[in-house]
Amino acid sequence: MSCAYSPAVTSSYTSSLPSSAAASSIFYSNPSSTSIGSFTSSFTSTFTSSITSSSTSTLPSSAAPVIPSTFSTITTSSSTTTPSPGSTSVPPLQPLPAGSPKCPPNFRNSVFNTVASQDSGWPLRWSTISGMGVSNWIGFTQDSISNTPSYNNAPCTPAIDSAQIKICMDPTKVSAALTLITGPSPPTYLELFNEPDFSYEGYTPLTDPVSAANALAPIFNATTTTQFLSPAVAYTNSDWLTTFAANCNNCMDKIPIISAHVYAPDPATALNQVATLHATWPSKRIWITELAPASSNSQGCTLDANGVINWMQTVVPYLAQSGYVDRIFWNTGEHSTMSPCNPSLTNSDGTATPLLQAYASVCG
Compute the half-sphere exposure of residue 255: CA atoms within 13 Å on the CB side of its CA: 28
What's the pLDDT score for residue 91? 54
Give the pLDDT band of residue 181 (cuts 50, 70, 90).
very high
pLDDT over 70 (residue 327): yes
The class (CATH top level) of 108-361 is alpha beta
What's the pLDDT score for residue 241? 94
pLDDT over 70 (residue 17): no
Query: Which of 80-94, 188-202, 344-358 is least confident?
Result: 80-94
How many Å apart are CA 218 and CA 330, to the nearest integer? Answer: 31
What's the pLDDT score for residue 218? 96
Is 107 in contact with 363 (CB distance < 8 Å)? yes
pLDDT over 80 (residue 160): yes
How many Å apart are CA 213 and CA 33, to the nearest integer? Answer: 43
pLDDT over 90 (residue 21): no
Best CA proximity match to 117, nearest among 334, 329, 295: 334
Give the pLDDT band of residue 78 (cuts 50, 70, 90).
very low
How many Å apart are CA 40 and CA 300, to the nearest integer? Answer: 18
pLDDT over 50 (residue 278): yes
Task: Please give the C-alpha separations between residue 337 and each of 31, 150, 200, 285, 334, in angstroms, as whole numbers.
Answer: 8, 19, 19, 33, 10
CB count within 10 Å of CB 53 equals 7
What's the pLDDT score for residue 117? 85
What's the pLDDT score for residue 59? 28
> Please, which contacts does 146-150 make with residues 24 or more away whose CB atoms are closer than 8 Å?
146/2, 146/3, 147/1, 150/114, 150/203
Domain range list for the chain: 108-361
What's the pLDDT score for residue 76? 29
How many Å apart are CA 353 and CA 343, to the nearest integer? Answer: 10
How many Å apart are CA 290 and CA 167, to the nearest integer? Answer: 13
Residue 70 or residue 189, greater confidence: 189
Residue 268 or residue 4, greater confidence: 268
pLDDT over 60 (residue 186): yes
pTM of the model: 0.76
Residue 48 or residue 159, greater confidence: 159
Q: Tell me how far apart the terminal alpha carbons of the chain are, to the nearest angstrom.
A: 37
How many Å apart are CA 316 and CA 310, to the nearest integer? Answer: 10
Q: What is the sign of the dihedral through the CA atoms of 111, 361, 352 and 313?
A: positive
User: Distance from CA of residue 18 to its chain's centroid?
Assistant: 19
Compute the half-sphere exposure of residue 196: CA atoms within 13 Å on the CB side of its CA: 29
The predicted-structure confidence for 119-154, as pLDDT tens digits, reads as follows 888 889 999 999 999 999 999 998 988 888 888 888
pLDDT over 60 (residue 332): yes
Best CA proximity match to 240, nearest among 177, 289, 198: 198
The rounded percent of the chain whose pLDDT value lies above 90 is: 50
**SS3 category, 215:** helix
pLDDT over 80 (residue 219): yes
Mean pLDDT calculated for residue range 299-316? 90
**Cα angle, residue 154 at apex, residues 151 and 156 outer, rounded to 5°:** 125
What's the pLDDT score for residue 107? 96
Amino acid at position 342, single letter: N
Query: Which of 9-13, 91-95, 163-167, 257-261 is least confident?
Result: 9-13
Compute the mean pLDDT over every residue in the chain, rounded to the nearest whole number: 76
Mean pLDDT calculated for residue range 272-285? 93
Give the pLDDT band of residue 68 (cuts 50, 70, 90).
very low
The predicted-structure confidence for 192-218, as pLDDT tens digits, reads as follows 999 999 887 778 889 999 999 999 999
